[in-house]
Structure 1
Amino acid sequence: MTESNTKKVVAFGEVLWDCLPSGLFLGGAPLNVAYHASRLGATSYLASAVGKDFLGDEVVRRFEASGVQTDLLKRHPRWPTGASVASLDKSGDATYEILEKVAWDEIALEEEDSPILASADAFVFGSLAARTESNRSLLLGLLERTEALKVCDVNLRAPHDDLDLALSLLKRSDVIKVNDEELRRLVGGDEGEFLDCIKALNQKTGVDLICVTLGSKGAMLWRRGRFFSLPPDDISVADTIGAGDAFTAALTMGLLEKRGLEECLVRALKLSSFVASKRGAQPLYKPRKLFS
């Protein structure tokens, strides 16, 4: 891990273009986390892959402009840059059709990348990128070796929503972030057993720090029986794309900066609410102004 005040965050997984009715928007949960971690002051990396195509070139250009490091972003020799077809409902919530056999389905890191991975303060990952055997093998190896804070942001998107795989990854994490629907799916609980569901997930995984996002009701942070629950900021929602990823980034940075759990939750909700009030997952902002 790094010894300087600047934290190093590595996010592992998908990078893709969201094809919306209003145009193409760069996305993917790990990419969004890396973007916001960079905005929040970290040296951030995305361990992923893009194709040797125009969209891949544009990803690299956007990374360089935003401050996200490109060292762990590889170019796949055969497969194209990832994409998804996204549609928004009347409330601004998004649904996705994620294309397969794309570059991030086969992430290939090299020996020369080891120093970056070994010095990471946080390693953020999800379950979607583990949909291929090669990525699963790579991810499990990285989780076995890293000494970083391991943050798992579950991403149960059909048909890539293998609950056994998700639980296997969660057991290897230090921090779990799920939404309320994912929580109930993972433990088989119903709406009337919310806290019991959190305790059940703790028992299934052995992870003591669990965060549950509740949509319009805010979020809850649970640690060893203590919990904080807060509502979101009062905003006009433009779209929810990337809001959960912004939450994950702010939560991760708060934990790395040794902030109190309630302050971590306040900052994560403030950033996610801000992102939901804007179009697209990567709006520009100044953290000092946002959190003042």
Structure 2
Amino acid sequence: MIKTIVFGELLFDVYEDIAVIGGAPFNYSVQLSRLISKDDNLKFITALGKDDFSKEAIKFIENENIDSSLIQLLDNYETGKATVFLNENKVPDYIIHENVAWDNIEFSSDIEKALKERYDLFYFNILSCRSEKSYNALKNIFKNIDAKYKVCDVTFRKNYYTKEKVKEALDFINILKINDDELLAIKNLFYPSLKIDLKKDSEILLRNLNKDFNIDYIFLTLGKDGAASLHKGEYIFKPSNKIKVVDTVGAGDSFCAALSYAILKKSDIKKVLDFASAVSEEMIQVKGGTAKYDVKAIKERFNME
């Protein structure tokens, strides 16, 4: 049985006329839960308010292959929201509401008890520890968890990160998933004097990260240009296929879920990258970060059953 545990935000993207469930760790959990078997276990740690949004979230989770026993319901905080609007250039922008439930995840006795088990994989991101309370909960998990694979999907948002928190994460993990914008931010934090063109020389920066933080697997997503990986000194670049893009929301989360699954299935690095790329290409052809694609077909295509 595969045992995984995920920490982080569940929030609703609120548009003028609709609210859509999401948050990178939640999208990741949903997509990974559909790849693993019904006999496997995925625990999701987050906090929700006691409101209509949390009722909707719990109802959604009940229909997925996700263990909700570590989801905290808090009296004094609302379920997380991000208000989405168009800025003056008609580009979507958002306000991620602060001091909401997922900013107040406690290191509870239930979490402490759950960490007495051994896990195959643990996932978190940087956004989830923007507040001191959730950050302290995450640091306690770092100290107590026994997991073979420790995954960080960076997820920088606005100014909700510090060099200290990023360094702590990089020192802890053995799998890193990052996009090109986040790689630039990491360059500015840790390698400000390194004179490279990231469009041409991203491999140099990945090798620096591997050397300085001893990260076993690094995956870089490059949007329409493709993706790359670095593992055991081997750098692989995979260009993307030309497909019709419907919605890029959740593409990175599904990529990270797929690479996690492929590593858990002991795939070689080329197959991991190919599978993750194929899954994210399926996702951008459907709408929404928790949308469904034909999981069975793609697993059969890559002999991933």
How does the TM-score come out when normalised to structure 1? 0.91
Return 5+ residue gaps in structure 1 as ranges: none
Indicate which of 11, 29, 33 corresponds to 2:24. Answer: 29
* Aligned counterparts of 1:277 and 1:80: Cα–Cα separation in 2: 32
Deviates more, 1:107-116 or 1:52-61: 107-116
**Aligned residue for 2:210?**
202
Q: Where do 1:34-113 residues align within 5 Å?
A: 34-41=29-36, 42-87=40-85, 95-113=93-111
Indicate which of 267, 278, 287 corresponds to 1:279. Answer: 287
Displacement of 1:87 after TM fit? 4.8
Displacement of 1:85 after TM fit? 2.0
How does the TM-score come out when normalised to structure 2? 0.87
* AA aligned opposite 1:13: G
Q: Is the 8 A contact 2:286 2:292 kept in 1?
A: no
**Aligned residue for 1:150?**
150
* AA aligned opposite 1:173: I
* Aligned counterparts of 2:92 and 2:212: Cα–Cα separation in 1: 30
Count how many residue pairs are aligned between Structure 1 and Structure 2. Answer: 285
Q: What are the Cα deviations for residues 66-117 of structure 1, in whole angstroms up to 9, with x where unaligned?
A: 222211111012000001123579xx98643211010000112432344533
Q: What are the Cα deviations for residues 191-235 of structure 1, in whole angstroms up to 9, with x where unaligned?
A: 243111111222332213111111011111101320221123432
Looking at CA atoms only, which structure, 1 or 2, has the larger radius of gyration? Answer: 2
**Aligned residue for 2:221?**
213
* Aligned counterparts of 2:228 and 2:91: Cα–Cα separation in 1: 20
Displacement of 1:167 after TM fit? 2.2
* Aligned counterparts of 2:17 and 2:239: Cα–Cα separation in 1: 30
* Aligned counterparts of 1:262 and 1:290: Cα–Cα separation in 2: 16
**Aligned residue for 1:183?**
183
SS at match of 1:282: coil
Displacement of 1:122 after TM fit? 0.7
Residues 93 and 249 (structure 1), Cα distance of their counterparts in 2 relative to 1, 3 Å cut: farther
SS at match of 2:172: coil
Identity %: 29
Matched, 1:12 2:10: no
Q: Is the 8 A contact 2:283 2:293 kept in 1?
A: no
Q: Is the 8 A contact 1:94 1:241 kept in 2?
A: no
SS at match of 1:120: strand
SS at match of 1:79: coil
Matched, 1:269 2:277: yes
Residues 10 and 233 (structure 1), Cα distance of their counterparts in 2 relative to 1, 3 Å cut: farther
* AA aligned opposite 1:31: F
Return 5+ residue gaps in structure 2 as ranges: 189-195
Matched, 1:128 2:127: yes
* Aligned counterparts of 2:244 and 2:182: Cα–Cα separation in 1: 25
Residues 139 and 69 (structure 1), Cα distance of their counterparts in 2 relative to 1, 3 Å cut: same
Indicate which of 208, 214, 236 corresponds to 1:228. Answer: 236
RMSD between superposed Cα atoms in Å: 2.0
* Aligned counterparts of 2:163 and 2:170: Cα–Cα separation in 1: 10
Indicate which of 258, 263, 267 corresponds to 1:250. Answer: 258
* AA aligned opposite 1:260: D
Deviates more, 1:233-242 or 1:169-178: 233-242
Matched, 1:239 2:247: yes
